Amino acid sequence: MSESAKPKDQPFHENYVAEYIQGLERRVRDLEQEKRVIEGQYLKVDREFASLRAEFERLRTPPLVAATVLDVLEDNRVIVRSSAGPHFVVTASNFIKLEDLKPSVRVALNQRTFSIVEILPSKKDPFVLGMEIETVPNVSYKEIGGLEDQIREVKETVELPLLKPALFGKVGIDPPRGVLLYGASGTGKTLVARAVAHETKATFTRVIGSELVQKYIGEGARLVREMFDLAREKAPSIVFIDELDAIGARRLETSTSGDREVHRTLMQLLAEIDGFDPRGEVKIIGATNRPDILDPALLRPGRFDRLIYFPLPNGAARLTIFNIHTKSMNLDKDVDLKTLAKMTERATGADIKAVCTEAGMFAIRDEREQVEQADFEHAVAKVLPPTRMIEASEFTVKPEKMYGY
């Protein structure tokens, strides 16, 4: 090769080296990307392996024995009753606080040493736990119209014993154990019960009477017992049983097996009411629109001591209810609430609320922002037809006719 040919071959050699280096760099980047993918897969497989190993160890763990705490001794040993029946004096794990080991608490025992290793959750039926209303009902006495006398009696019976129990001790009397609210549907019984829970800041437990009627023998009585146990644990609390006539109907000589089960539930309810401390922090409120069929045992002194009648609202009460339900409505200046109160004779508070809602719907239908007098008149004709007004007036059970009260 001549000297003149060397400069011509030099650029080719440099291009080859540069391309080779670039190829190696791309290969390194590809390998690094592949490495990251493999590391991610490795971490995923490792987590799955750890999870399966933990599950395997959990399945190999021997079963625990369920027991109930009966008493805690001075030397910190605990007397328990196992699910099999025998009583044992056992020790508790250092990870369990002794103040949490109270009588009737469910615990788990080691199968070999019978030591307490865990505190179990409550055995109460989830249905019973669902009766408790966690948030305080957002209803105050100001939102209830025409029931001043009834509210005063309920406050004396339920609210004062919870807020000022010492006052009854100074006077020397026991407050009523329970209060029964009765009257036509829609007259404000449930609303007043919710307002009491709001004012007292008490735990509010609400149940419909028909929910306590169960298929199997003893189930209804068990629900009643657990419901009151929950109320005692959450004290101060109010137990509100709506539609009480579903389980409190008068017992007859001839009855079917289903009737007898309802009677067992009623007898458990009577036993729970009798076991109340009159000055305790648990109050019971019942509500019904059929007081004429209630069993006399519910109404005798010492159980539902105070019976409060909720009548249909009169003219002044209806006007007050209209003012309450229309205070946030955009009313036209020609709306006359006094005339509407006269038009809704024999209407309940629930009926008046429905009239206000329906009047607002008529305005929305016409794409208007104000509710006019004609909207209310059309709403009265729709919600309260003549036949409906007659039905509302047929609630004939008066206080003086109810078992002599």
What letter represents residue 310's amino acid? F
What letter represents residue 342's amino acid? K
What letter represents residue 259's amino acid? D
Give the 3-state secondary structure of residue 234. coil
Closest CA to 295 of 250, 241, 242: 250
pLDDT tens-place string over residues 186-243: 888 888 888 887 777 777 788 887 777 776 777 778 788 878 887 787 777 888 888 8
Task: Give the Cα separation of 224 and 231 in Å (integer).
Answer: 11
pLDDT at 299: 82
How many Cβ atoms are within 10 Å of 357's Cβ, its own excluded? 13
pLDDT at 105: 84
**Structure tokens given for 205:** 């437990």
pLDDT at 358: 92
For the chain, counts of helices (H) and of strands (E): 15, 11
Closest CA to 181 of 194, 165, 198, 168: 194
pLDDT tens-place string over residues 103-117: 878 888 888 888 888
How many Cβ atoms are within 10 Å of 309's Cβ, its own excluded? 19
Burial of 100 (0-12, 13-18, 19+ CB in 10 A): exposed
Residues of the chain with pLDDT under 70: 1-13, 122-137, 215, 253-257, 276-280, 386-405
Write the CA distances from 118 to 51, 68, 70, integer angstroms.
23, 12, 16
Instruction: Give CA 75 to chain center in angstroms.
Output: 40
Task: Give the Cα separation of 55 and 48 in Å (integer).
Answer: 10
Under a CB-based contact definition with an 8 Å cutoff, are residues 285 and 178 in contact? yes
What letter represents residue 190's amino acid? T
* β-pair partners for 207: 241
For the chain, the straight-line distance linking the first and the last C-alpha, in angstroms and rounded, comes to 134
Burial of 220 (0-12, 13-18, 19+ CB in 10 A): buried
Under a CB-based contact definition with an 8 Å cutoff, are residues 300 and 142 in contact? no
Give the 3-state secondary structure of residue 160. helix
**Structure tokens given for 378:** 């059309």
Closest CA to 284 of 174, 165, 180: 180
Closest CA to 161 of 236, 229, 271: 236
Angle in degrees, CA 179, 287, 190, rounded to 5: 105
Write the CA distances from 323 to 43, 188, 326, 360, integer angstroms.
67, 16, 5, 15
